Amino acid sequence: MKGSSHAVIGVTAGAIAGYQVQPDLFTVAVSSIVGGVSALVPDLDTNGVASNKITISKNVSQWLMRLVGAGIFIAIAYQFLTTGFTPSILLYGGIGLLLFIASRFITQRRMLTLTGIMVIWLGIVMHQSTGILLAGIYIAIASFLPHRSYTHSLLGLAFYAFILHQLQQEWLIDGILVAGICGYASHLVADMKLLPMNRRGVKLFAPLWNKEW
């Protein structure tokens, strides 16, 4: 199923779920967005629509990395000229060099790995947000998984629900948890073999039971 179809189903599922939680405009609006985004998350294990959205295109990201690398070098040079040598220059110089090297051999999926690592880092910097940190871990893991494996299982759904639970507690917005679960679950259902357009199913109980549903 295409990403746009997943998104439409997810928005609907999220809106209905949000309305059950609290029938006001804000909750329903937030829940629709959360449902739509959540319905794209399981396909982070592909080079498809969802992963393109989060990692931009390969060419753009390559040049972006080089640009950031160059920016870091200019900032370091400036700091060296104004305040002299500090140990942090080595650290940032290393990061800049790494970006240049990585931009040469980066693939779409490794771009996703890097995105995950950046989100993890964001989670640590942003008041130690466990929710953001876990979201980064999810993205980094998904970038190594074969298509329609763990992200399309109940284990993946449970991990995702735990992330939503953390975010809802940190952001104090009702509906995130329920709408996100409904959006994510709608993707798994829409990918199931019982629907005639799906030739492959989903391994709902992986790794315990690898039967495709």
Run of H or E residues at 57: none
Q: For residue 165, what are the contacts with CB-CB under 8 A and spacing of at least 6? A: 177
Binding site for Zn ion (CB under 5 A): 42-43, 191
Number of Cβ within 10 Å of residue 189's Cβ equals 14
Q: Provide φ and ψ at 40, rounded to 5°.
A: -95, -20
β-partners of residue 205 are 209
Instruction: Name the residue type at position 162.
Output: F
Tell me the C-alpha distance between 211 and 34, whole Å. 30
What is the nearest approach in angstroms of Zn ion to the Cβ of residue 151? Answer: 8
If the CB atoms of residues 36 and 96 are measured against Zn ion, the closer one turns out to be: 36
What is the nearest approach in angstroms of Zn ion to the Cβ of residue 48? Answer: 8
If the CB atoms of residues 20 and 47 are measured against Zn ion, the closer one turns out to be: 47
If the CB atoms of residues 10 and 42 are measured against Zn ion, the closer one turns out to be: 42
What is the nearest approach in angstroms of Zn ion to the Cβ of residue 15? Answer: 21
What is the nearest approach in angstroms of Zn ion to the Cβ of residue 42? Answer: 5
- Please, are residues 21 and 5 in contact by the beta-carbon 8 Å criterion? no
What is the nearest approach in angstroms of Zn ion to the Cβ of residue 169? Answer: 28
Would you give the end-to-end CA distance of the chain in angstroms? 15
If the CB atoms of residues 43 and 139 are measured against Zn ion, the closer one turns out to be: 43
If the CB atoms of residues 42 and 96 are measured against Zn ion, the closer one turns out to be: 42
